[in-house]
């Protein structure tokens, strides 16, 4: 019976280590994507979403990756950042995100427009 418990404990430890390695790799990948996006080579929402690596309190090993909204500190799963952005930022759930389109340039007042008339 002790051999069975020891075997299960070894399997659990290796499973925890594998999960930690996967979480760490996912975190590093999201950081890389975010850094590129901030430099202008990626999706707009990465300036507002920040990857977080969540650690297991018992083992100290990484166990999950989350996304934190830098505007309101809400935390989400990192499984689909694009969906998170559209649901949280675009649909108005984030109280600090203003998605209203701002004009690029304003047209001059009507008094300054020149209109040519042909007779």
Q: What is the pLDDT of residues 75-86, one digit of tens each?
A: 999 999 999 998
List residues bridging with 68 in a β-sheet. 50, 75
Element of type H or E holding 26? helix 2-38
Q: Domain-by-domain residue ranges, the chain?
A: 12-98
Mind listing the pLDDT tens digit for each residue in 28-39?
Answer: 999 999 999 999
Tell me if 6 sits within 8 A of 14, measured CB to CB: no
Instruction: Using the predicted structure, report yes or no on whether residue 25 has a pLDDT greater than 60.
Output: yes
Instruction: Using the predicted structure, report yes or no on whether residue 113 has a pLDDT greater than 50.
Output: no
Q: Tell me the C-alpha to C-alpha distance, in Å, between residue 17 and each of 7, 10, 12, 52, 104.
A: 15, 11, 9, 18, 51
Burial class, 117, CB count within 10 angstroms (exposed 0-12 / middle 13-18 / buried 19+): exposed
Reported pTM: 0.68
Q: What average pLDDT does this structure show over 75-101?
A: 85
């Amino acid at each position: 019976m002790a051999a069975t418990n020891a075997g299960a404990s070894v399997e659990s430890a290796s499973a925890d280590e594998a999960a930690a390695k996967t979480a760490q790799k996912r975190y590093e990948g999201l950081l890389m994507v975010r850094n590129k996006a901030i430099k202008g080579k990626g999706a707009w929402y990465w300036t507002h979403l920040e990857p977080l690596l969540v650690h297991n309190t018992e083992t100290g090993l990484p166990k999950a990756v989350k996304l934190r909204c830098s505007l309101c500190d809400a935390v989400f799963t990192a499984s689909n950042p694009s969906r998170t952005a559209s649901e949280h930022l675009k649909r108005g759930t984030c109280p600090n995100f203003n998605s209203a389109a701002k004009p690029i340039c304003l047209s001059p007042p009507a008094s300054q427009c020149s209109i040519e008339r042909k007779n």
